[in-house]
C-alpha cells in the first residue's frame, strides 16, 4: 500500500500511455470512406490526432513524474493516513451496484431496488448503529414510491421482471 501510494503518479501516467497506444491501434481499424466526395479528413483523422496528442502529453507526464520522484525521495509521506478513504466500503458499493444492475431486468425494479437499498444501507452504516427494521421499511417504501411515481405519474417504463 505504502509503495503503491508513492508510485501512484507514475502508475497513472503509464496507464494512460498504454491507453493512448491502444487507442491509436484502434484507429487503424476504423473503416474509411473512399467514395466520391471523400475528404482528406476522414473518420480516422481526428481519433489519430487525439491519440498522438495523448501519447505526447503522457510521455511528458511520465518524464515529469520520474524527475519529481528523483528530486524528493522520502517526503510527503506524512499525509495523515487516517484520512484515507475506506476502500472496502467503496468496493462493496460498486459490487452491490453491479449485481443490482445485472439482475434488474430479470427480477424487476421493485424487488431489486428494495433489496439493493437495504443492502447498501447495511454496507454504508456503522455496525453499532444499524436499525434493521427501519432500514427494511425504508427500502421497501422508497422503492414502491419511486416505482409508482415514475411509472404512473411520469409514464416511464421500468423493468417489471417476475412481478409483471
Residues engaged in binding another protein (CB under 8 A) = 8-9, 11-12, 16, 23, 26, 30-33, 37, 39-44, 46-47, 50-51, 53-54, 57-58, 60-61, 64, 85-87, 89-90, 93-94, 97-98, 100-102, 104-105, 113, 116-117, 120-121, 123-126, 129, 135, 138-139, 142-143, 146, 150, 153-159
Buried b (16+ CB within 10 A) or exposed e, 15-26: ebbeebeebbee
Rg (the chain; Cα; Å): 25
The residue (of 78 and 85) whose beta carbon lies closer to another protein is 85
Could you tell me the smallest distance in angstroms from the CB atom of residue 74 to another protein? 17
The residue (of 67 and 78) whose beta carbon lies closer to another protein is 67
Q: Among positive and negative, which fits the CA dihedral 126, 128, 130, 131?
A: negative
**Can you tell me whether residue 2 is helix, strand or coil?**
helix
Could you tell me the smallest distance in angstroms from the CB atom of residue 78 to another protein? 17
Q: Cα separation of 148 and 21, whole Å?
A: 48
The residue (of 78 and 87) whose beta carbon lies closer to another protein is 87
- Can you tell me which residue has the cell 495523448? 54
Amino acid at each position: 500500500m505504502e509503495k503503491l501510494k508513492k508510485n501512484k503518479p507514475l502508475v497513472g501516467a503509464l496507464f494512460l500511455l498504454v491507453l493512448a497506444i491502444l487507442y491509436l491501434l484502434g484507429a487503424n481499424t476504423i473503416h474509411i470512406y473512399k467514395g466520391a466526395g471523400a475528404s482528406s479528413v476522414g473518420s480516422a483523422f481526428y481519433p489519430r490526432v487525439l491519440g498522438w496528442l495523448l501519447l505526447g502529453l503522457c510521455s511528458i507526464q511520465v518524464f515529469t513524474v520520474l524527475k519529481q520522484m528523483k528530486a524528493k525521495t522520502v517526503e510527503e509521506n506524512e499525509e495523515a493516513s487516517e484520512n484515507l478513504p475506506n476502500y472496502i466500503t467503496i468496493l462493496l458499493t460498486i459490487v452491490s451496484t453491479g449485481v443490482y444492475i445485472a439482475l434488474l431486468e430479470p427480477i424487476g425494479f421493485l424487488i431489486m431496488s428494495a433489496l439493493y437499498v437495504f443492502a447498501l444501507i447495511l454496507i454504508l452504516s456503522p455496525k453499532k448503529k444499524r436499525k434493521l427494521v427501519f432500514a427494511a421499511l425504508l427500502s421497501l417504501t422508497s422503492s414502491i414510491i419511486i416505482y409508482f411515481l415514475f411509472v404512473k405519474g411520469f409514464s416511464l417504463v421500468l423493468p417489471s421482471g417476475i412481478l409483471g
